[in-house]
Amino acid sequence: MPVAHSGLGWPDLPPSEHATGVGWPEKGVSRQRIPATGTPRVERMATVTQTPLNPGDSPLVREALNSVVSRETPATKLPIQAGDSFLDDSWPKPAKTRVIAVANQKGGVGKTTTSVNIAAALSMKGERVLVVDLDPQGNASTALATEHRGDVPDVYQVLVDDLPMADIVKQVPDMPNLYCAPATIDLAGAEIELVSLVAREARLRRALAAYDAVDFDYVIIDCPPSLGLLTVNALVAADEVMIPIQCEYYALEGLGQLLRNVDLIKAHLNPTLRLSTIVLTMYDGRTRLASQVADEVRAHFGDTVLSTVIPRSVRLSEAPSYGQSVMTYDPGSSGAMAYMDAAREIAHRAMV
Ligand code: ADP
Ligand code: MG
């Protein structure tokens, strides 16, 4: 197969229907800054309150601008409108549950880290979130301090033995809006056992439907590093696919195969499935390769790629061993702030 781009391991990607994904709600609104001096105060504030946040803004810039508003806002003089996106950081709730499969058949690209931290970030903003651990390694369960050893009922029993989802879902400790459906090592057998079962591709979809997932704003499915029946179950159950791409050489190999599988599932098993989100992970700003990979991915997939990139951060890799997401382990770390920004982008895309 010909390689489409410049030596970065690009696969033979299908035509770029994926390039026209969803955009940021405030896209196209040009950024206005606060005039430094010389403008009457009320006029100046009026400019500020109309200024939307930009997805590219760093948390520091946001903090700085927010503090300008809160310091300068005279409670009696400046009418602050409810729903003003600049001042009100509440996130929109999706009209119906968004089921998002986090998939990439490559291991170690950040699927679990992304699933867990996006889920935690959303839950901290008041969204009700369920993480379904679909990887026999159980890494997401570990990171969410959800028991997944021994006889604990798990996703395997839901998929293979028809156990109701309600019997396995646990609330994540100290995270009131976050829930986890754990995976034990038993799940490793499911790839084979599913083969002979009725509706083998739709077992997770059925289980979620029966579970009345309506209660959740988000269901995030952490897929295993393969394109087998477990990942197929995730893609059949989901409305959206989120693909984490590691900003490294070879990162894009195999992507064509994943996208073809998404298209096949869309054509035959789940017509509403769409590639909604690509998130660039483990970005090391010091290397040219990382920015080259990021540029190539953006050139091909356009707005499907989140503006926020997830940097390499030791804190992100430490957090799971404490049974925590980085959002609680070290909320001020670069990784936590990036995942909060990424989650904000995802939440706002619900409006599109
Ligand atoms: P996957 O689920 O795709 O196999 P993981 O999320 O488990 O990938 O990530 C693989 C390894 O890389 C883990 O040890 C994880 O802690 C680490 N890791 C993931 N994202 C980052 C990051 N942005 N910075 C540093 N380490 C990371
Ligand atoms: Mg994983």
Q: Using one digit for the tens of pLDDT, what is the confidence trace for 188-223? A: 999 999 999 999 999 999 999 999 767 899 999 999
Tens digits of per-residue pLDDT, 224-234?
Answer: 999 999 999 99
Q: Which CATH class is domain 98-348?
A: alpha beta
Task: Report which residue type is found at 308.
Answer: T
Rounded Cα distance between 329 and 64, Å, is 24
- Please identify, by atom number, the ligand 1 atom nearest to the C-alpha of residue 222: 2
Tens digits of per-residue pLDDT, 52-94?
Answer: 555 555 554 454 444 443 333 333 333 444 444 444 577 899 9
Expressed in angstroms and rounded, the spacing between residue 327 Cα and the centre of ligand 2 is 18
Rounded Cα distance between 117 and 46, Å, is 35
Our answer on whether the CB atom of 137 is closer than 6 Å to any ligand 1 atom is no
Residue 19 has pLDDT above 60, yes or no: no
DSSP of 96-159: SPEEEEE--SSSSSSHHHHHHHHHHHHHHTT--EEEEE--TT-HHHHHTT---STT---HHHHH
Residue nearest ligand 1's atom 6 by CA: 110
Q: Report every protein residue that has its C-beta within 5 angstroms of ion ligand 2.
A: 111-112, 135, 139
Domain boundaries of the chain, sorted by first residue: 15-76, 98-348
CB of 129 closer than 8 Å to CB of 177: yes
Strand 170-171 relative to strand 178-181, pairing = antiparallel
Residue 139's nearest CA partner among 262, 283, 316, 339 is: 316
Pocket test for ligand 1, best of 317, 321, 329, 339 (most atoms within 8 A of CB): 317
Joined together, the tokens standing for residue 275 give 């590639």
Residues 6+ apart with CB under 8 A from 337: 59, 331
- Please identify, by atom number, the ligand 1 atom nearest to the C-alpha of residue 113: 6
Expressed in angstroms and rounded, the spacing between residue 51 Cα and the centre of ligand 1 is 35
Kindly report the pTM of this predicted structure. 0.78
